[in-house]
Structure 1
């Protein structure tokens, strides 16, 4: 049991003995960096104090306290620390460590800082949780130790631990005692830019005096941004430096106005010295870091170093080397699919198989790949390579595509620096793609012509092929296939079906484009009616699912069940009415394989999470107001569309284009509802494979080869196939290795739309702010007022009739929430994104592209949505 570790201790101690801060100072000293001398009082040093604290009534009150009462009890606990005394063996070790500094000066001052084993770790910073005392004289140093010790019992620390899943019952602390540097300037530095996430930019904050004003936010510091590759100073920004802290000769500190508020606190040579130091620290840790630094008498000191916990990590396989041509990626998982959280490892692997098959059918080549291809599913996300797409297809095509999916993404793409991000030549994999696409598109082009010439006839062909695909899927399920064989065969069959479905999407685009051209010179009133032609269209499988759910919610069996347990018993015993049982079974057969985040094979389906589905029905059942009845709203929207068609037909007759307009309208009505069909059948395929995977998971869990069923989704299809045929394969080890990077994403709340291969996040262009109004993209026309309900996940809270649903993005699993919503506000999404399609189908006003909507808008806030003009009025 060791009580003291000096910074120059030869063998690094365990992190559990000295904490993150102490460990870092020891390691940095060993690397020869200019760390002021000092030592760490170990976790064992403070064990007797914790043993005493945990035997007190005050401790029990803290452990059993609610969050509301926690501060009262922690304050009482901290008061006990005032009277703590050092045990003789600890005091002796402490005195020996202090005596090392005796010869330096009689007026030595120390900085005393906490160093928790849980603090300054990657993924957990405990920022602001523990206390530091500056300018400590030897005679008052025990008070400073007690102060740091007591901070481990602070309310902030307990709340942070609760939020991040740390145990509360075993608090630990070590304390750093370090020679105090009488700095003239000090502050912090980051080895990446914390604002834009760029890995090649160092950001330095500084002020005169001690760095405490910068760390604690007491003053607005000077800010400097440097490029690590070129070592150039990108930006110098003068801070207000309202105050500064200085060491008092007799101990402690004092505060005074900064000596030169209008003067910059660091010279260029100082900045370059800091750049070199933080680069050395980052190279040692092999991860982004931040440091605390100080200049005293012209010498630079390193006071602290720790991993940066809040940044967006990029897989190494997606990074280009510093100084090389950068690539630009769009997160299509978010912008295209409306999925916030990372997909499972198996989910991305399976989607990669699907993607390569689709691309092979379209181009005759494998063009998948995040860096050298068009796009790829990788480490829980789907990334589109913007750089390669622009080089291959041109910037305009990409902007036009994403204008329909997510306007904000399109705006970012429109504003990129092509010299910085577009390669001079295409990667070898993509050469010849356009020629291959043309050669492979002859058959599909023929089908497009069929769809354009005879929409009703082609619709019949499509529906017959869809029924055939369902039958093929059932037949494959009956065969004795391995999971890999089933995945590959069903994917190939889906691709052949998709080739039949794709011309429908082309026909829709042609119809919309044709109608827009007919009325391009018409009045704004006529043009607005064109927008309404996409409301309440038939044959949309997602809309039909929502309306089916609403009809289910009206049954007495749902309304009269007092709890899910009561409902479940009735369902299992089939004691409910035959009409309800038939409706329930019919719904589950047709839609039960759907769910939020349904693209991921790891996500349980509705038929697996019946309680969540039941709760959604109960919420819908509260929708008793006729004006919020979704069927009534749908029928009214359909009637409005038909009325607008008559008005537009008159206008088209005046232009001599009535026949052409009727033809386009027929195509729109016939085909538009089927836009969601390909995804519906693909999700059906995902669900069938999930059943086979879950059967394997039951077996592997029972045999002890995996820890729990869901761990199977930490494997690839090949991993699982190998493990099923070879019992010696260590599936746990494969799962652990596969998910190393995914675990780094666990605390990321919002993924950026666009990021480059050096980690830099590209923001959207700033929109003109208007007082009391938010401006976004018009998605679904109509005006509605209501109370805001902000959701980060579809099961977070119920949407009551008339609520304004505010979300970052939505996928089909959010559809039930649209039933009750009076209107929808989205951060992410365009005219063809899922939320937009469903909002229009239900006739609900919708606006997207409201950056930070889920932060700006608050539950209960009254707003007015104008879906035609894309505005949100704050009432």
Structure 2
């Protein structure tokens, strides 16, 4: 390995030799970018110094525990190190190639400026270094690898401290008149078409260090237009002192625009060329000296949201607008498996009876574990107002997004191929459900019985698929046939869903809204609610209460040591709900019947003496009688009774999803059997890897034993590495990466959201990002991003619910209403703003959450 590389070197060093910063400067120099002359002293150059540091007792102690005192002692030792003859000769030979009176000395760590680990601002940079002080400042740059901030950052990111090493850059010092930073993607909204530039007078260290306000410019590179300028008061500037080092000066014209428009465009072009060269968004540092532009640094942006290539459009093409329904409707942040994504798309398509076709030219599209509604394609057919209604049913706050964008610009000029014929399909669907509609109007009770008769038939049909020997695609098609059967029987569900709004219109009295919403408690036909009741029942058995460990519970189940009554309830629960679990819509996720220890823990966490289910019926009954008396006064008693009866069956709205989960459990069982064959053939490493495959890939593997399906798995895992650091997936964004969020205003101490379950409650917050990550005690307020059915036992202990996303029909909102819990959704970053133990007041009637203490 070379110990020194000149920036003009024909050989590009390894990352492990030169570090990310130096490697990028050599790469961009070789590519023809205007990089000031320089060289890098590689990791190997400092071997003797590094060995000396790592032989000390302080270093051995630091490995065991990172403390500031140990880091400071080692830094002092490193700064006192001097060159040996070989080091001094190497620098002397190479420094001649840099024509400069002063130098900039910068660290370049192999771990710095990587995707996911930026170490931003932690390593040292020294400007205006004179030749006689070069050795001293190189030692100080080297020593910065031992800084406490660096070591603590490594510990937090699980990086190996023992592998600590560094390279050092020596570069020609520019006398920058203007300098700054530039992002090839706008970090404020993630738009790939917008370059953001920050600029100020003098050297750029004051901008990077936050010591001066800088101008901010936004350039839309697709339109070649400066779309925003914010000129700041640039009071001071940093310059190179005549004798070396730096000096601060007062700006003569602090309000003057730092860059001319011509320079802004020139710089935006350079930044985009860097992005094109690296094939990914970049963060750059730049400077102008004597009106000439220089590139000082280029590194990957570690914080932007990376859009999968399948979702991207080219800069000048029509953009698509995506609504992520994994995030907005399912209550978890993680991406589904590929197979789970396939099945969920199929569910949406079947449930909508072809009105939401699958594909990039359809209305729903699955991509590497995310499922998107293509709002532009949908809008071209349904129109803007109808699309707003659709997304409002997901989360009412999303409709506010449309006020900030020209939605029609996302419409394709012509109907997408798969969206053709939608009007005809809508007519056929209306004809299909019309018999059920007429019957429901005539005899509501009979349509309920017909629905349950159909579901019993469908469950038997699904059970017949268990251990099927058919190819997997045929199994999926057979499983989803049940939704064609159910759609024609779903009119009672539609009537029940509409009953609430009909009651609101009938009374037209805001003072009665809480009572109307209280009728949504303890609804009939909701399998998720019934699951909760059965969990409470199991947890309440004295013989279960007496058990103190899962081992005892498991042993008594195996030995049939429970009473016949408990065993009957338990077996019924597992028959109906053993198919459910955390992230249950995803076929890759574990089921309750597969993890009895978790189920045991859930039951033990339920407060059986005082929980949300106990007083719900009384509250609902009181609300019903108040409304009935009011209906009598206005002469609408019969209408009220009819609507209230219909409303009682709104819980059935959850039933089709339950049927889907039941089907997924059976398909999961069969898929794992197929995976065992693939593993036996040597084509899969693990049976769980089958969930990284699409159903088409599984079918190919079944039909042709010569196909190495493991390659499909490896490719999918590689693609998903792109987003492995994404913690907060955007709900709405477009195909050029721009993320759209809802901006709300609230009074001091108040968080404004959407009211979905009435009532006002005070309590202490418990913030959960995953179900059961910690115990939620009786009377605490659940604060989370969103929920799914696996969260139901947690609601039993809660006194109120606060969620970041979801509307009135999101699972969490439905269960909160059924259990009589005040609930507010749509509070952006609630899980970051609110901390465990905060005293909150949740106003589920008006949609406010107040942090009291």
TM-score of the pair, normalised by structure 1: 0.93
Partner SS, residue 841 of structure 2: strand
How far the C-alpha of 1:567 sits from its partner, in A, is 4.6
Q: Residues 813-824 of structure 1 correspond to what in structure 2 (within 5 A)?
A: 813-824=790-801
Aligned residues of 2:347 and 2:660 also touching (Cα < 8 A): no
* 2:777 pairs with 1:800: yes
| Higher deviation after alignment, 330-339 or 191-200 | 330-339
**SS at 2:673's partner residue?**
helix
User: For 1:148-187, what aligned pairs fall within 5 Å after superposition?
Assistant: 148-187=141-180
Residue 610 of structure 1 deviates from its aligned partner by: 3.1
Distance in 1 (alpha carbons) for counterparts of 2:202 and 2:603: 62
| Alignment of 1:754 onto 2:732 | yes
Name the structure 2 match of 1:91: 88
Moved more, 865-874 or 553-562: 553-562
Structure-to-structure mapping, 1:237-248, within 5 angstroms: 237-248=230-241
In structure 1, the partner of 2:60 is 60
Any runs of at least 4 consecutive aligned residues in structure 1 with deviations exceeding 6 A, and if so which? none
- 1:602·1:690 contact (CA, 8 Å) conserved in 2? yes
Instruction: Say which SS state the counterpart of residue 330 (structure 2) adopts.
Output: coil
Q: Given the superposition, is the C-alpha separation of residues 474 and 429 from structure 1 closer, same or farther in structure 2, using an over 3 Å criterion?
A: closer
> Which residue of the other structure, out of 504, 525, 528, is the alignment partner of 2:492?
504
2:382 matched to which residue of 1? 393
Cα distance between partner residues in 1 of 2:793 and 2:305 = 32
Aligned position for 2:357: 367
Instruction: Report the more deviating stretch, 607-616 or 179-188.
Output: 607-616
CA positional deviation for 1:717: 1.9
1:403–1:831 contact (8 Å) kept in structure 2: no
Cα distance, 1:559–1:116 mapped onto 2, change above 3 Å: farther
Work out the CA distance in 2 between the residues paired with 1:701 and 1:677.
36
Asked if 1:695 is matched to 2:682, the reply is no
Conserved? CA contact 2:514–2:759, under 8 Å:
no
The 1:52–1:561 alpha-carbon spacing in structure 2 relative to 1, beyond 3 Å, is farther
Q: Does the 8 A contact of 1:773 with 1:873 survive in 2?
A: yes
Q: How does 1:457-856 map to 2 (within 5 A)?
A: 457-492=446-481, 494-520=482-508, 523-555=509-541, 559=545, 561-565=547-551, 567-575=553-561, 579-620=565-606, 623=607, 626=609, 628-632=610-614, 636-669=615-648, 671-701=649-679, 704-764=682-742, 766-856=743-833
Aligned match of 1:203: 196
How big is the shift at 1:86?
3.2
Contact 1:368/1:376 (8 A) holds in 2: yes
Matches within 5 A, 1:221-232: 221-232=214-225
1:551-609 deviation digits (Å, cap 9, x = unpaired): 33334566555554555455555555555454444323321221221111111112223
Which secondary structure state, in structure 2, belongs to the residue aligned with residue 409 of structure 1? helix
8 Å contact from structure 2 (residues 450, 489) kept in 1? no
- Counterpart contact for 1:345–1:739, Cα < 8 Å: no
Tell me how far 1:415 sits from its aligned partner.
4.6
Distance in 2 between the 1:752 and 1:143 partners? 48
1:333 maps to which residue?
326
Aligned residues: 852
- SS for the counterpart of 2:187 is coil
TM-fit CA distance, 1:545 = 1.4
Q: Return closer, same or farther for 1:431/1:800 CA change in 2, 3 Å cut-off.
A: same
Q: 1:41 to 1:700 in 2, by over 3 A?
A: farther
Cα offset for 1:165?
A: 4.0
Cα distance between partner residues in 2 of 1:711 and 1:225: 44
1:112 partnered with 2:102:
no
Q: Distance in 1 between matches of 2:546 and 2:62?
A: 42
Unpaired runs of at least 5, structure 1:
none
1:321 CA displacement = 1.9
2:107 is equivalent to residue 125 of structure 1: no
For 1:260 and 1:572, locate their aligned partners in 2 and report how far apart those are by CA, in whole Å.
83
- TM-score (structure 2 length as normaliser): 0.95
Residues 553 and 127 (structure 1 numbering): CA distance in 2 closer, same or farther, change over 3 Å? farther
CA distance in 2, matches of 1:609, 1:146: 56
1:125–1:47 Cα change, 3 Å: same
Q: CA shift at 1:256, angstroms?
A: 3.8
CA deviation profile, 1:730-783 (whole Å, cap 9, x unmatched): 23321121233322221111112211121111221x333212222211111111
User: Is 1:12–2:12 an aligned residue pair?
Assistant: yes
Distance 1:87 1:546, change over 3 A: farther
**Cα gap change, 1:173 to 1:572, in 2 (>3 Å):** farther
Alignment-derived partner of residue 379 in structure 1: 368
Kindly state the Cα deviation for residue 419 of structure 1 after the two structures are TM-superposed: 4.3
Instruction: Give, in angstroms, the shift of residue 205 of structure 1.
Output: 0.6
Where 1:189 maps in the other structure, the secondary structure is strand
Residues 510, 559 of structure 1: CA spacing in aligned structure 2 closer, same or farther, 3 A cutoff? closer
Report the Cα distance in structure 2 between the residues aligned to 1:404 and 1:356, rounded to whole angstroms: 17
Alpha-carbon spacing, 1:301–1:258, altered in 2? closer, same or farther (3 Å):
same
Shift of the 678–432 alpha-carbon distance from structure 1 to 2, 3 Å rule, reads: same
RMSD: 2.3
Change (3 A) 1:150 1:834: same
